[in-house]
A and B are shown apart, each in its own frame.
Chain A
Amino acid sequence: MTHTTTTPTSSIKVLYFAQVAELAGLREERWPLPKPVTGTDWLSGLEARYPQLAPVSRLKLAINQTHAPHASLIRPGDEVAVFEPVTGG
């Protein structure tokens, strides 16, 4: 983490759910993001910070509450959710 202020325009809100939240040890955090990155690249950074989440290729992403393939772009200000395949119903 840098020590610059993380405003909504230079960061994203990250939400962790279920097993991912248990492994990461938290449910929500702000993550500095000055410019857009692909989900794949962002997940690499996530794995670097939380090695216990590996392999991140199995994880699902939602961007602004919509399911998003890993190739999607994550932009500053987005709400990004990380989770295992869902098991409702």
Chain B
Amino acid sequence: MVLVQPDDFDSAALLAALRERSAGKAGAVVTFTGYVRDYAQDAATQSLFLEHYPGMCEREIEDLCDTARQRWEVAECLVVHRYGELHNGDQIVFVAVASAHRGDAFRACEYIIDALKTRAPFWKRETLSSGDRFWVQQREADAEKTQQWDDTHTPAAHGK
């Protein structure tokens, strides 16, 4: 299931629903939650605006979940991603993968969040406490990490 929404989410409720859907099939659930942090090196982030491409976001993330299902044993997969105005400490993204075994759940969850960062059409615009605004640039490390998954089906050894 993929949800792209402006509203905040309750990760505990999402996890409970995922466990219900995967009852009896999943011995492991791995989750990832991403939060707004300071993107600039030298100034405090006041707010973050997330622009997105409606339709394509959902399609891309569904496609990543399908790829994860092909590569690993995945019982259930859930991704929630927010857009719009967010503030420091807010939740941005939630990925949960249920699997029979923890190895598959860990790898599928990490693959989905890594690939999402370079494939899902979202763009972050940061506003600093000084009032300056700028569009966040894609990190080379993120692009390299996704490439590594494509090449080997395992996470990049030097990825952060």
Complex Cα–Cα for A18 and B53 (A): 10
Categorize the interface residue count of chain A.
10 to 19
Contact (A65, B123) CB under 8 Å given A17-B51, A88-B52? no
Cβ of A55 within 8 Å of any chain B Cβ, yes or no, is no
Categorize the interface residue count of chain B.
20 to 34
User: Does A87 contact B53, Cβ atoms closer than 8 Å?
Assistant: no
Contact (A87, B119) CB under 8 Å given A17-B51, A65-B59? no
User: Does A81 contact B93, Cβ atoms closer than 8 Å?
Assistant: no
User: Does A87 contact B138, Cβ atoms closer than 8 Å?
Assistant: yes
Contact (A18, B56) CB under 8 Å given A83-B121, A88-B121? no
Cβ of A25 within 8 Å of any chain B Cβ, yes or no, is no
Complex Cα–Cα for A88 and B114 (A): 10
Complex Cα–Cα for A2 and B116 (A): 39
Q: What residues on B are CB-neighbors of A85 within 8 Å?
A: 118, 137-138, 143
Partner of B123, one of A15, A19, A62, A67: A19
Cβ of A86 within 8 Å of any chain B Cβ, yes or no, is yes
Q: Mark B51-65, 1 if CB is under 8 A from A, else 0.
A: 111011101100000
Of all chain B residues, the one with the shortest Cβ separation from A60 is B121
User: Does B93 contact A88, Cβ atoms closer than 8 Å?
Assistant: yes
Total A-B pairs, Cβ < 8 A: 75
User: Does A18 contact B51, Cβ atoms closer than 8 Å?
Assistant: yes
Contact (A89, B117) CB under 8 Å given A65-B53, A81-B53? yes
Q: What residues on A are CB-neighbors of B138 within 8 Å?
A: 84-87
Q: Mark B91-109, 1 if CB is under 8 A from A, else 0.
A: 0110000000000000000
Contact (A62, B81) CB under 8 Å given A18-B123, A18-B135? no
Complex Cα–Cα for A17 and B57 (A): 13
Contact (A89, B53) CB under 8 Å given A19-B123, A83-B121? no
User: Does B55 contact A65, Cβ atoms closer than 8 Å?
Assistant: yes
User: Does A89 contact B135, Cβ atoms closer than 8 Å?
Assistant: no
Other than A62-B121, A85-B143, give 19 A-B pairs with Cβ distance below 8 A: A17-B53, A17-B121, A18-B123, A18-B125, A19-B123, A62-B53, A67-B60, A83-B123, A85-B137, A86-B138, A87-B123, A87-B124, A87-B136, A88-B50, A88-B57, A88-B120, A88-B121, A89-B93, A89-B116
Interface, chain A (partner B; CB < 8 A): 15, 17-19, 62, 65-67, 81, 83-89
